[in-house]
Chain A
Amino acid sequence: MKILTEHEAKKLLSKYGIPVTKESIANSPDEAFAIASQIGTPVAMKISSPDISHKSDVGGVVLNVSAHEARSTYDKIISQIKKVAPIARIEGILVQQMALQGHELIVGLKKDAQFGHALMFGLGGIFVEIYKDVSFRVVPIEKREALDMISQIKGYPILKGIRGRKPANIEAIAQVIVSVSQMAEKENIIELDINPLIANETGAVAVDARAMIEN
């Protein structure tokens, strides 16, 4: 069993054609500055460690960082982590395109003893376990079923755009769901969360992801 870092999980998603935020690992303050300048600021900076999965809980996440703040933010996060989690292995700092505007969704997988893999779709973000507005399928599924899954949640009218809120690109979300369905067995996924998957009119992008895979 292996837990992937956010960056590793997103590389996996990219392999299946799922759009992810522009990002790269910095190993020095200068690299952080260079990456931030290249991606375009502001950026988000996050600790990358195989030992830390709840990054914001340990003060490992800083948002809205400008290019000239990138170097100092790098040092700040490293010293914070060394203080609160001295034995954690640090791979560097993930410098990432700031989250896009749009609907916060979740797409996830869970290995199931009886049926293979269960795939979950729903409204995402931090309240996902409170609202539990989700739908399930056993994989593999095709696009038609993915669309059905999307339309099944209570929040579907929100995704279609209500009260002046812009709609989400349903086709793009369905494509992400189908891609996740395809990776379940090939990548030996035990659990996977794409949360949030941010969807707006133009597309859907995996902004944060976590994965546990079998070796």
Chain B
Amino acid sequence: MLSSIFEPESVAVIGASNNETKWGGRILKNLLSGFAGKIYPVNPKETIVQGLDSFPSVLDIPGMVELAVVVVPYAIVHSIVEECGKKKVKGLVVITAGFGEAGNESGEIELVSIVRKYGMRMIGPNTLGIVNERARLNASIIGRLPKPGYISFITQSGSLGLALAEWTIATEMGLCKVISTGNKAQTDDVDFIEYLSDDPSTGVIAMYVEGIKQGRKFLDAARNISKPIVAIKTGRSKRGAKAVFSHTGSIAGSDEVYSAAFNQAGILRVDTIDELFDAALAFSCQPLPRGNNVAIFSNGGGASIVAADECERQGINITDLTEETREKIRKILPEFASVSNPIDTAGTVSFKIYNDSIKALHNDPNVDAIIVIYVHTMISNAMPPAEAVVEMKQKCDREKGKKPIIACWMGGLGTEEGVDLLKSGCFPNYPVPERAVKALSALIKHREFLEKVKIRKGD
């Protein structure tokens, strides 16, 4: 069970060190910084490691060990894992490298056979570890625990995955689980998305993928999961050899096939790292829209045109507002403002204008989603419109039929306070309109996946 890995009661760090610049030291330190369960350092050369009694072997630990993090040299890794099996350890995170990734397939097969023999589950080898924020468990070399959130991140790349995980922490993006897959020797993406699908604290799965091991099984698993899966798949490989037999063979590179397969399984494929987290963030705190009709509200005409252009590219409809809504907005906005969609306040900014207008748009049956833009100027204040949006959302959340509201506070300098308020009100803020629109587009696509692709339970 993967729950032994993510929600263990006790953890042994085999290869624990007093030296925090070594992986075995770093991981122990990370565990100590948050995890409330039992922690056992294992190191035959030390008696005390980072203030805890150290054990010569996992077999010497008096109590039960549910998870073992293995950070030992390759030469002894197999015997260490064998000992874990004898100790009835349930889950393993094997950090040690030098297996399939280094061309050593036989060493990996041997490792898996030991793991199987004792009925254990293993992540890795060659993983950077795992994080479960909910359990305050940081069994990885990622610097610190992320803020709590609903995004679970599966990454195949070691260093890039690490950098991305660190970056999400720096941007204070909330994460739930981080899984560095390593070589996927015994557990792979199929196991992870199935586990995360049943994990109540995961709202959206973000994936960094270089290759999928069991393609068909992976697609079936993804199709069965109603939670959104956003993936970046790298390695847009070269087309086949020069002497290609058929046109199909020549055009159908692996990248095209990946796109088709992901689409068929309801996995949202994105092209850039920005898009991956922009979409994940939107999923983690906004409801899905019923359709693809958007209203754009802005204090600046230019920004709303940029947003409208991106909507056009993404196939999102700039909807016609009902006469009733236009009448309401006409009364809210100054005389010279535009009351048809995209709505432009002609520079006027106030709590009341943003609050009343967004409320009117939210009540319009023609509107499925709202993009609210604030363009910062020397004479405007980013706070009142942010307060208006947050208050509106709180009100709407209590009502039925709530609609996604995507915020775009532009200008950077001078908007910090407003942006922080948005974040605390669970508003993903996108610094430019295109990113806001693409994030909304992800919500719309997932709604379509749910209708068309995903296998509905009970059907």
Contacts and interface: CB of A to CB of B under 8 A. Distances in A.
Interface of A: 3, 53, 106, 108-110, 112-116, 118, 120, 128-129, 132, 134-138, 141, 145, 190-193, 195, 210, 212
Contacts of A3: 245
Interface of B: 211-212, 215-216, 219, 245-252, 254, 256-261, 264
Given A112-B215, A115-B215, A137-B264, A193 B247 contact: yes
Given A118-B256, A136-B259, A138-B261, A110 B215 contact: no
Contact of A110 (B211, B219, B252, B259): B252
A20 to B, nearest CB: 17
A120 B251 contact: yes
A114 B249 contact: no
B248 A110 contact: yes
Nearest to B240: A110
B248 A106 contact: yes
- Could you say which of A115, A137, A145 has the most chain B C-beta atoms within 10 Å of its C-beta? A115
Interface of chain B, helix or strand or loop or mixed?
helix
B241 to A, nearest CB: 12
Nearest to A136: B260
A195 B247 contact: yes
Given A114-B215, A115-B216, A136 B247 contact: no
B440 to A, nearest CB: 22
A110 B246 contact: yes
Contacts of B254: 112-114
Given A114-B215, A137-B264, 20 more contacts: A3-B245, A106-B247, A108-B249, A108-B252, A109-B248, A112-B215, A112-B254, A116-B215, A118-B252, A118-B256, A118-B257, A120-B251, A129-B250, A129-B251, A136-B256, A145-B264, A190-B245, A191-B245, A191-B249, A212-B246
Contacts of B260: 118, 135-138
B245 A129 contact: no
A156 to B, nearest CB: 15
B251 A128 contact: yes
Nearest to B250: A129
A148 B261 CA distance: 14
B261 A191 contact: no
B248 A115 contact: no
A115 B247 contact: no
A128 B248 CA distance: 9
Contacts of A212: 245-246
A138 B248 contact: no
Nearest to A209: B246
20 contacts: A108-B246, A108-B248, A109-B248, A112-B252, A114-B261, A118-B252, A118-B260, A120-B248, A128-B247, A129-B250, A129-B251, A136-B256, A136-B257, A136-B260, A138-B215, A138-B264, A191-B248, A193-B247, A193-B248, A212-B246
